Chain A
Amino acid sequence: MKKAVFEDFDGYDDIIGEIEYSRKFGVDYTQERSMPERFINRLHPPRLRLRLGEIIEETASAKTFRLVSEENELPPFLAGQYISLLVETGGILTNRPYSISSPPNQAGFWDITVRRVPSGLVSNFLLDHVKKGEILHSSGPCGNFYHNPLFHDKSIVLIAGGAGITPFMSMIREIAECGLDRHVHLFFGSKTLEEALFHHELTSLSARFENIQYLPVIEKPSEDYPGTVGLITGKLIQEKLGDLSGKTFYLCGPQGLYDFCIPELEELGIPGRKIRKEVYGAPLEVSACPGWPREIHANQAFSIAVKEKGTISARAGEPVIKSLEKAGLTLKALCRSGECSMCRVRVVSGRVFQPKGVPVRKSDTQFGYVHACVSYPLGDLEIEI
């Protein structure tokens, strides 16, 4: 056989020697079988089997579900993160994100707290049908709503509305139980005091810890309610905090809370980078969102042709992901708020409505990819999942 050119290069024999040596004393990669997965699953398991250890009545309309791992140890999470529960109810396989309300130092179980939502498919299924001892499936912890010590202040202002208190419970409990060097001001907006989740625990924590301050703000109080009433206004925040500098603000609650409170904070001169807001699901009534085409009624029916899967029926006011689920096509979604991009699908033809501010990659937009959890058909569609 003809000698290759490079065999004459200076140093060739040394390289051959090096190869022999490295093969003799090298690495046995057969040990690598499924290694990446095993390591990653300790932090980011794709699926967890959880047993419902306890159900705790919190208020007339909310319960805490205590979830215990059936298999391995629960993976770590950051206070504020959520898990996505995979639930089959009414013949529909779907998922819902729930913030973990127990603190990260509690490695034995996770608590999620669920409040009844009118016509809420999954919340009502959990509240009414799921029993202690049953098995639930969830994703690993995910989400970007947590205290980032690299640039968030140690002094934090938490603004919660309704069930939006849950991620903050995890944060506050961690601060209390682990003695973290953080100062908390919690403003908790609730319709009534009776509905305010964790009110007693929060009152007692704020009495015991100097660095935890709690203020319930009741929108529709009973006549003799002596506490703070109304909405969480800039004036109230300014009055309670005094100096607004060196503080990071976190908001979690329904869209109405954001629509009201964020302008109030901006009015106080809080820079945008200091205002963190958790995603809170798809809009309740998308046809009321700015930019919704007035000629299209939320109940208008359309069809979606799903490549290789067949044609399904859809409704303008319902996100594409739901129509898919009703037809038995479940996507691997997590946040259901447009943020995680797991339900990325391609719209081949037809028009969809996407509420303003949904983070979609620029080139995805260019090629018709949308996040199905916050995309609404404005006509017949052809999509690829």
Chain B
Amino acid sequence: MDDYDAIVIGAGNGGLTASTALAQKGLRVLLLERHNIPGGCATSFCRGRFEFEVALHQLSGMGTPTKPGPLRMMLGSLGVLDQLELVEMPDLYTVVMPDGFKIGFKPDKNHVLGELKARFPHEHQAIDTFFNLVYAYANQMLAAFFFKDPEPSREKYPDMYACAFKTAAQVLDELFTDPLLKAVISVYWGYIGLPPDRLAFPYLAMIFFTYIEFKPFHIKGGSQALSNVIVNKFLSHGGTVRYNCAVKKIIVEDGAVKGVVTEDGDRIGSRFVVSNASQISTYVGLMDPEHVPDGVQREMRGRSLSPSAFTLFVGFDCEPDALGFTEPTSFLLKDLDVSDRMLGRMGELSIGDQPMVLSCYDVADPDFSPPGTCQANIVILKYGKAWLRVPPREYHSVKFKCAEEMLRRVEEIYPGVRGHIEELEVATPLTHMRYLGHPEGAIYGYEQYIKDSMFFQPGRYSPIHGLYFASGWVGDCGFHPTLQAGLRVAKSIVRKLEKEEK
């Protein structure tokens, strides 16, 4: 007999919701995590009197209690909603430039339209057209796929048929001429990882739609609070979690999963294994090559790795307004060129003129940092490959040099910030690689080209019986998608068991 009904490898978002939903259904579940703390990306760390948020910028899909979004409903079904203190963020985002340009939006469609039209009156009509298209696209997509229209057609959903496979740049270039407007409207590409030339328009549309309709949120205690709350729920359902316990091997026999072997040599039997790790780590790192089906290798070959990130975690000895941080989410732009050249720059060590995002949670949640202080999380997207070439002895000096360059970019817009720094930690792509175990530190998993969307890829399924994937590698990345990925896997497993019983 199996030791557990299911084994989940990794306590990141996907692993946490998968294991908790399975345990909720009465399954005996073992959750294995190689670190000493759950969360994966959804975590925090302490320096001095600060606790730094690692990954969560703006939680999407939450919605309000009266108009709940999909994430609120999901967390409700997991039974963890009442233990989370959610803070609605007052702002969508702000774009600032060193020349003094600044534009900010509330998460409200009319406010976004009003601000854009006031600043770009010459593009007045195109702005309306763009947001009408965003909303039409989103509503058609939801009607066809979320509400599962049995007979979708081009006549019913013209924008979906026309735009689903377009890039963001194609749509923006058709409508707008002003490069500043195009840059301002597409800054959220940073949350997906591909610049507008490569970014699928649907992502840009859905991100605007969900943030405006369901509002951006923040969690008291940061994303670690979310991870801890879910683990706590998992334990209360009788689940078992082992920290500091990496998996060394997934046992496969005759094309079916039989269990896992831990790094301590423990053999644990189960016919369901959910991997919260990447497909690459799972198939290549945890399985003998003879067990990996040919189709899998072929499919993986077609995927590319998303960028990693270079991040400054900064603790300041003053309130945010003393530094000029008046909104929680600011995109710092310098060069408006968001064409393919951006991809090249993302592959370099140097910070250059790339956009960066500065999140100051204290603006939305004054208790986030100790009284009289605040913190900023400043991120720029960088591919990990260049960092793999840095000789170990040069690592610290390269890291500080890049961080210095980044800090100067911040000072161009917020002069005087350096004089208030009390703590500063730098994370490079190698840091993300170290803590996530992702190849090249890819924070968003595989790149999300249109060809990588759910229509074309195997997602959570594997040709190996009993093996499932739940992570940012199976489809969209981000908090809401990864939390959902785990629930979907749990549903698949439960359905399979029910079918067998019949």
A residues with CB within 8 A of B:
4-6, 8-12, 14-15, 18-19, 22-24, 26-30, 32-36, 39-40, 42-44, 73, 75-76, 78, 107, 144, 148-151, 271-273, 332, 339, 341-344, 359-364, 366-367, 369
A362 to B455, CA, bound (A): 41
Residues of chain B lying within 8 A (CB to CB) of residue A151: 418, 421, 424
Apart from the given pairs A359-B46, A367-B232, 4 other A-B contacts in the complex at a CB distance below 8 Å? A9-B164, A23-B301, A150-B404, A339-B46
Least CB distance from B414 to A in Å reads 14
Q: In the complex, are the beta carbons of B36 and A332 less than 8 A apart?
A: yes
Q: Which residue of B lies closest to A151 (CB)?
A: B421
Q: Which of B37, B224, B285 contacts A33 (CB 8 A)?
A: B285
Q: In the complex, are the beta carbons of B225 and A342 less than 8 A apart?
A: no
Q: In the complex, are the beta carbons of B392 and A361 less than 8 A apart?
A: no
Q: In the complex, are the beta carbons of A32 and B434 less than 8 A apart?
A: no
Q: In the complex, are the beta carbons of A363 and B228 less than 8 A apart?
A: yes
Q: In the complex, are the beta carbons of A344 and B36 less than 8 A apart?
A: yes
Residues of chain A lying within 8 A (CB to CB) of residue B297: 29-30
Q: In the complex, are the beta carbons of B392 and A75 less than 8 A apart?
A: yes
Residues of chain B lying within 8 A (CB to CB) of residue A144: 47, 425
Residues of chain B lying within 8 A (CB to CB) of residue A367: 228-229, 232
| Known interface pairs A27-B304, A36-B437; A9-B37 also in contact (CB < 8 Å) | no
Q: In the complex, are the beta carbons of B154 and A76 less than 8 A apart?
A: no
Residues of chain B lying within 8 A (CB to CB) of residue A273: 317, 420-422
A367 to B434, CA, bound (A): 26
Q: In the complex, are the beta carbons of B221 and A362 less than 8 A apart?
A: yes
A26 to B433, CA, bound (A): 22
Contact with A along B145-175 (1 / 0, CB 8 A): 0000000101000001111111000000000
A11 to B160, CA, bound (A): 12
Q: Does B180 make an interface contact (CB < 8 A)?
A: no
Q: Which residue of B lies closest to A20 (CB)?
A: B302
Contact with A along B269-281 (1 / 0, CB 8 A): 0000000000011
Q: In the complex, are the beta carbons of B393 and A107 less than 8 A apart?
A: yes
Q: Does B5 make an interface contact (CB < 8 A)?
A: no
B386-404 residues with Cβ-Cβ distance < 8 A to A are 388, 392-393, 395-396, 400, 403-404
Q: In the complex, are the beta carbons of B433 and A40 less than 8 A apart?
A: yes
Residues of chain A lying within 8 A (CB to CB) of residue B395: 43, 76
Q: Does B28 make an interface contact (CB < 8 A)?
A: no
Q: In the complex, are the beta carbons of A150 and B421 less than 8 A apart?
A: yes
Least CB distance from B386 to A in Å reads 13
Pairs across A and B, CB under 8 Å, 12 listed = A11-B164, A19-B451, A28-B301, A29-B280, A42-B392, A150-B404, A150-B418, A150-B421, A150-B426, A271-B317, A341-B36, A363-B222
Least CB distance from B454 to A in Å reads 9
Least CB distance from A65 to B in Å reads 23
Q: In the complex, are the beta carbons of A150 and B451 less than 8 A apart?
A: no
Residues of chain B lying within 8 A (CB to CB) of residue A339: 46
Residues of chain A lying within 8 A (CB to CB) of residue B244: 332
Q: Does B303 make an interface contact (CB < 8 A)?
A: yes
A106 to B155, CA, bound (A): 72
Q: Does B101 make an interface contact (CB < 8 A)?
A: no
Residues of chain A lying within 8 A (CB to CB) of residue B407: 150
Residues of chain B lying within 8 A (CB to CB) of residue A78: 396
Q: Which residue of B lies closest to A33 (CB)?
A: B284
Q: Which of B37, B49, B285, B420 contacts A341 (CB 8 A)?
A: B37
Q: Which of B225, B433, B451 contacts A362 (CB 8 A)?
A: B225
| Known interface pairs A34-B285, A36-B433, A273-B317; A6-B455 also in contact (CB < 8 Å) | yes
Q: How many residues of B contact A (CB 8 A)?
A: 71
A366 to B418, CA, bound (A): 33
A361 to B392, CA, bound (A): 31
Residues of chain A lying within 8 A (CB to CB) of residue B450: 11, 15, 18
Residues of chain A lying within 8 A (CB to CB) of residue B71: none
Residues of chain A lying within 8 A (CB to CB) of residue B449: 18
Least CB distance from A335 to B in Å reads 12
A10 to B171, CA, bound (A): 14
Q: Does B44 make an interface contact (CB < 8 A)?
A: yes
| Known interface pairs A76-B395, A344-B36; A18-B232 also in contact (CB < 8 Å) | no
Q: Which residue of A lies closest to B149 (CB)?
A: A5
Q: Which of A39, A40, A332 has the most C-beta atoms of chain B within 10 angstroms of its own C-beta?
A: A39
Residues of chain B lying within 8 A (CB to CB) of residue A12: 165
Q: In the complex, are the beta carbons of B430 and A39 less than 8 A apart?
A: yes
Residues of chain A lying within 8 A (CB to CB) of residue B415: none
Q: In the complex, are the beta carbons of B166 and A11 less than 8 A apart?
A: yes
Q: In the complex, are the beta carbons of B302 and A43 less than 8 A apart?
A: no
Q: Does B463 make an interface contact (CB < 8 A)?
A: no
Least CB distance from B458 to A in Å reads 12
Q: Which residue of B lies closest to A105 (CB)?
A: B393
Least CB distance from A41 to B in Å reads 10
Q: Which of B166, B280, B420, B438 has the most C-beta atoms of chain A within 10 angstroms of its own C-beta?
A: B280
Q: Which residue of A lies closest to B438 (CB)?
A: A36
Residues of chain A lying within 8 A (CB to CB) of residue B424: 148, 150-151
Q: In the complex, are the beta carbons of A363 and B46 less than 8 A apart?
A: no
Least CB distance from A237 to B in Å reads 21
A373 to B431, CA, bound (A): 25
Least CB distance from B367 to A in Å reads 9
| Known interface pairs A27-B301, A341-B46; A150-B403 also in contact (CB < 8 Å) | yes
Residues of chain A lying within 8 A (CB to CB) of residue B420: 273
Q: Which residue of B lies closest to A364 (CB)?
A: B228
Q: In the complex, are the beta carbons of B160 and A9 less than 8 A apart?
A: yes
Q: Which residue of A lies closest to B162 (CB)?
A: A10
A344 to B33, CA, bound (A): 14
Least CB distance from A272 to B in Å reads 6
Least CB distance from B169 to A in Å reads 14
| Known interface pairs A107-B393, A272-B317; A18-B304 also in contact (CB < 8 Å) | no
A148 to B232, CA, bound (A): 37
Q: In the complex, are the beta carbons of B303 and A26 less than 8 A apart?
A: yes
Residues of chain A lying within 8 A (CB to CB) of residue B301: 22-24, 26-29
Q: Which residue of A lies closest to B392 (CB)?
A: A42
Residues of chain B lying within 8 A (CB to CB) of residue A341: 36-37, 45-46
Residues of chain A lying within 8 A (CB to CB) of residue B392: 42-43, 73, 75-76
A310 to B445, CA, bound (A): 41
A10 to B298, CA, bound (A): 26
A14 to B222, CA, bound (A): 42
A33 to B244, CA, bound (A): 21
Least CB distance from A374 to B in Å reads 13
Residues of chain A lying within 8 A (CB to CB) of residue B221: 361-363, 366
Q: Does B439 make an interface contact (CB < 8 A)?
A: yes
Q: In the complex, are the beta carbons of B51 and A39 less than 8 A apart?
A: no
Q: In the complex, are the beta carbons of B46 and A342 less than 8 A apart?
A: no
Least CB distance from A129 to B in Å reads 29
Q: In the complex, are the beta carbons of B47 and A29 less than 8 A apart?
A: no
A150 to B425, CA, bound (A): 10
A318 to B502, CA, bound (A): 57
Q: Which residue of A lies closest to B426 (CB)?
A: A150
